[in-house]
Structure 1
Amino acid sequence: MLTFVARKLGGLIATLVVASVVIFAVLEVLPGDPASLMLGVNAQPDTIAALRSELGLDQPAAARYLSWVGGFFVGDFGISYTYRVPVAELIADRAMVSLPLALMALILSTAIALPLGTLAAAGHNRWPDVSIMSFAQLGVAVPNFWFGILLVYLFAVTLRWLPAGGFAGWDAGLGPAFASLALPAIALALPQAAILARVMRSALLDVLHEDYIRTARAKGLTAGSTIWRHGVRNALIPVLTILGLQFAFLIAGTIIIENVFYLPGLGRLIFQAVAQRDLIVVQSLVVLLVASVVTVNFLVDLAYAWVDPRLRHGRR
């Protein structure tokens, strides 16, 4: 087990190093100068040079990269070119919106998809299967931002149950804060739940044709007990893979959803930073998003080893 964890941890570190180099290099070759953009078209050359020196933009690229990466180990991501505050402070404030939103969407999609996928597999080629897969196909086809607009029209404009946009803040209490995140979380969760339900159904159908399932039925177990005790756990490997990938999709989806619902989260921050050419914010945010996705995939690999003991001992 330790060898398995060490191998996966080494892959995680190597991925983060390569990702940081690629992200820094890509943003370096983009045209335009942040100092010139901040000061405007009428700025004097000496003023631009002074600002470049203040921001550290006059240093060699290698030195700036090492300084930037070194700051990650102490929580110093630099100073925002636009907001003139520490990037870590900006990210921490916005993460208090995006992380609860992503977790709510992930929990909601999982809670919807796993029972529906299991029910569809148990009623294969009967009305539960046909109905669930029809709705799942619709959920896959509908973009989450358009679905979000429909939710706003129904629950905010027509029924007036939930706010149409904005974030009440955690200081206002858990109720108003979660009410502000409810519609965005549903808009993010339902398309992902449709995908996960289809994967759960397919994986469980494959498992139900295995010999040990027929043996369990021959020993007298009911169909429901066989599915839940022997089928679901063995079908979780592909489901865990999709869950790990879905976290990346949810984080990326917040960029659009947070702009639709006007939420002050990481998605809206990275959109603003790109528009304002605040490269230090863009670099730090993208690396953190990559790190979060890689870390989740690492945890999914550990979950593989828990679900399938053969992986812990290196057997296929």
Structure 2
Amino acid sequence: MIRYLTTRGLALALSLWVASLVIFLVLNVVPGDPARYMLGMNAAPETVATLRAELGLDRPAPARYLAWMGGMLQGDFGISYTYRTPVSEMILDRVGVSLPLALYALVLSTAIALPVGLFAAARRGTAAETGVMAATQLGIAVPNFWLAMLLVLVFAVRLRWFAAGGFPGWDAGILAGLKALTLPAVALAVPQAAILSRIARSALIETLGEDFIRTARAKGLTRGQALTRHALRNAMIPVLTIIGLQFSFLLAGAIIIENVFFLPGLGRLVFQAISQRDLIVVQSVVMLLVCAVILVTFLVDILYAVVDPRLRRR
């Protein structure tokens, strides 16, 4: 188990280093002047030179990279050129929306997908399974931004159960915050639940063909009991993989949904920073999101060892 964790920890550190290097090279070293890009092609040379000095672009690339990494390790992400405020403060304000939204959507997705996957696997070859698989295929095909607009039309415009957009802040209360995130979370969760339920069904059906399941059935367990007591845990590794990838997507890939619902999250922050040419914010937020993706993958690897005892012996 120690060797397994050590190997995964080294892979985590290497992935973070490579990711930081790629992000830095893309935004700082490729042909083109970031300062001129931020100010526009018609900016005065003196203004460009001042911004280059402020951003540290007049220093060698290795020195800028080390300074950037050192600042990030200390929680210093730099100063936004557009808003003239620390990027770390902007990220803290926005992550309070994006992280709960991603967790909310992930909980909804898992709560829908696992029962659906179990239901379909338990009724393999029946009309019920065919109907469930058709519904999940439809869930995969429907774009989440279209579903988001449909939810707004039905539940916000016509029924008026929810607001069409915006976020009141957590100071207004947890219930008010969760209510504002419900429609965006559903829009994000439905396509992910459709994918996860199909993966769970396939993994469960494959596990049901194993010898230990036949032994459990021979000892008198029903198909449903063998499915829930034995097959489910052994089918969790591919399911955990998809859950980990989905959380990463929900955290880093909700830009469209956050813009549809006017949520002040990280996705909307990146969108605004790109449109305003605020490369400092783009660089810092992208690195933070990449770190989140890699860390989630590392946690999923640890869960593998918890679920599968064979990995603990490595």
What aligned pairs does 1:1-316 form with structure 2 within 5 A after superposition? 1-29=1-29, 33-36=33-36, 43-314=43-314
How much does 1:54 deviate? 2.2
Residue-by-residue CA offset, 1:235-277 (whole Å, 9 max, x unaligned)? 1011011111112221233111101111110000001111122
**Aligned in 2, Cα 1:39/1:240: closer, same or farther, shift over 3 Å?**
closer
Shift of 1:28: 1.9
8 Å CA contact 1:188, 1:253 repeated in 2: no
Q: Secondary structure at the match of 2:254?
A: helix
> Contact conserved, 1:34 with 1:81, CA < 8 A, in 2?
no
> Aligned Cα RMSD in Å?
1.5
Distance verdict in 2 for CA 1:225–1:55, change over 3 Å = same
Report SS of the residue matched to 1:157.
helix
2:125 alignment partner AA: N
CA distance in 1, matches of 2:163, 2:219: 54
Check conservation: 1:34, 1:278, Cα contact below 8 A.
no
For the 8 Å contact 1:101–1:181, the answer to whether it is kept is: yes
Deviation at 1:284, TM superposition (A): 1.0
- Tell me by how many angstroms 1:38 deviates: 5.4
Which SS does the other structure have where 2:306 is aligned?
helix
Q: Is 1:38–1:82's contact at 8 Å kept on the other side of the alignment?
A: no
- Count of residues in correspondence between the two structures: 314
Whichever residue aligns with residue 92 of structure 2, its letter is A
**Is the CA contact 1:55–1:81 (under 8 Å) kept in the aligned structure 2?**
no
Deviates more, 1:186-195 or 1:279-288: 279-288
In the alignment, the residues of structure 2 paired with residue 40 and residue 126 of structure 1 have an alpha-carbon distance, to the nearest angstrom, of: 62
* Same amino acid, percent of matched pairs: 64
Runs of 4+ in 1 over 3 A off after TM superposition: 29-44
Look up the SS of the partner of 1:90 in the other structure: helix
Deviation of the 1:159 alpha carbon? 0.6
Structure 2 portions without partners, runs of 5+: none
- The DSSP-based 3-state class of the residue aligned with 1:220 is coil
- SS of the equivalent of 1:84 reads coil
Which TM-score applies when normalising by structure 1? 0.95
